[in-house]
Amino acid sequence: MELVERLLRGDKRAAAKAISILEDYDKKAADVLGAIYPHTGKAHIIGITGPTGTGKSTLVFALAKEFRKRDKKVGIIAIDPTSPFTGGALLGDRIRMGNLTLDEGVFIRSMGTRGHAGGTSRATADVIKVLDAMGMQKIFAETAGAGQSEVDIARIAHTSIVVEMPGLGDDIQAMKAGILEIGDIFVVNKADLDGVDGTLANLSLAVEQEKPSGWKPKIQLTVATEDKGVSDLADLIEEHYDFLKQSGTLEAEGVERAREELRAALTHHLFLRVFERPELIGEFNNLVQMIAKKEMDPHSAAEKLLGLAGIA
Amino acid sequence: MAKLRVLVAKPGLDGHDRGAKVVARALRDGGVEVIYTGLHQTPEQIVEAAIQEDVDAIGLSCLSGAHMTLFRTVMEILKEKGIDDIVVTCGGIIPDEDVTKLKEMGIAAVFGPGTPLQTIVDFHRNIAGK
């Protein structure tokens, strides 16, 4: 494919078009993915997650600048929520990244979650493949502001960074399952605010336990707006990547990632088998009515649709 | 299932982004994915952001009076790069006598003060055929 050849040479316009194809999942999507797939697997994927307002975008901007200084090409995927009511989205992460737009070695793409829960979108992993294939070496995926259980990013990223800030919650919050379990590195951003000690004390529980890989989670204080602590954070990111490579974890987790990707692709394709066919969309709507009237339960209705699609 | 994507951008030095934000929000409520780039963008930055975001349209807002220069530069860079699949519209304080000139530059629509938001939303939905 000509488009793929261009993106493999680093052409940003071609990459941008390929991303849209994957996001919209149009007819060419499978061909694009198939063509770029052999060229992926070289990039270090870094997930950035954490509650709204902790400074994730600003931190990504600061990290991107730092890795540019270290001669790495940087890809950024910034995910914001899509309205579940209108399907629209206001993607505003570029506001904090404007000065990187014209840097040859940087590619930034904003994405809406498009109905996907978990802080990412269905296409996030696929879009990362485009940036990987075009030669980006450090790829940051910044999730939509996450609560306690938006942990999807850990299945996509090699290194997961959870961004917190002073004054967000007590030690019980830190003991709950979910987001605090996925962090390879915890960042306390806005560390010039009061309450850093309390946040550190709360996080100490989360970093006490080693990961199954043997990695002990680290904590870094930053003030992203002033680039404070950012260079140290970049060092920690590299340290974690080195650890993954040397311990064989990168390879082992690659199999797990492949399993998740196949699972997600399977779900998506089952969905498409129904929704690509207008007559089945009609049947879908009929079944919705029947479920609402309690004439049929949702599981039987799903079985029926799969039967009509020739799957069950 | 192609989603309509629109970049809302403020070129130049004025800091009046109320209008741009109101339009961005109206488009969002109209089911559009709006990429808002913030204040003080250069024409080069706007075009590059539009490329990377693969948008269907760019909405330019300027209230400083420098619209002729700034918008023309945006159009010139788009042409230079051979980009002909992005629709450009604009808004702001734009005198009537400039509207024709802006359209001659290739700007598809000028949405001055008082334009109903629905007009702007409908325009984008129609022109992109989505």
**Segment 78-107 of chain B within 8 Å of chain A by CB:** 83
Q: Selecting from 1.10.3210.10, 3.30.70.1350, 3.40.50.300, 1.10.357.10, what CATH number does the domain A2-248 have? A: 3.40.50.300
Q: What angle do CA A224, A41, A3 make, to 5 degrees?
A: 95
Which carries the bigger pLDDT value, residue A81 or residue A159?
Answer: A159
Q: What is the mean pLDDT of chain A?
A: 90
Interface confidence, given as ipTM, is: 0.91
Nearest-CA distance B12 → chain A (Å): 13
Domain of B107? 5-127
Is the dihedral angle over the CA atoms A125, A29, A111, A119 positive or is it negative?
negative
Residue of A nearest to B2 (CA): A24
Confidence of residue A51 (pLDDT cuts 50, 70, 90): confident
| CB-closest option in A26, A87, A90 to B24 | A90
The total number of structural domains that make up chain B = 1
Contact residues, chain B, for A107 at CB < 8 Å: 52
Residue A268 has, within 13 A of its CA and on its CB side, a CA count of 19
As a whole number, mean pLDDT of residues A71-97 equals 91
The per-residue pLDDT for range B84-99, each reduced to its tens digit, is 999 999 999 999 999 9
Cα B22 from Cα B24, distance rounded (Å)? 5
Number of C-alpha atoms within 13 angstroms, CB side, residue B6?
A: 33
CATH code, B100? 3.40.50.280
HEC profile of A39-80: HCCCCEEEEEECCCCCCHHHHHHHHHHHHHHCCCCEEEEEEE
Alpha-carbon gap, residue A191 to A188, rounded angstroms? 6
Spatial distance between the Cα atoms of A4 and A115, rounded to a whole number of angstroms: 28
Contact check, Cβ <8 Å, B53/A17:
no
Q: Give tens-digit pLDDT for B9-58.
A: 999 888 888 999 999 999 999 999 999 998 899 999 999 999 999 999 99
Q: What is the pLDDT of residue A303?
A: 93
Whether A38 shows a pLDDT value over 60: the answer reads: yes
pTM of the model: 0.91
What is the 8-class DSSP label of residue A107?
E
DSSP state of A93: G
Mapped onto helix, strand or coil, the DSSP state of residue A287 is helix
Structure tokens at B52: 């990377």
Q: Does B38 touch chain A (CB under 8 A)?
A: yes
Task: List, in order, residues 6 or more apart from A249 with CB less than 8 Å away.
Answer: A213, A215, A243
User: Where do we find the tokens 């969309």?
Assistant: A281
Q: Any idea where the domains of chain A sit in the sequence? A: 2-248, 260-308
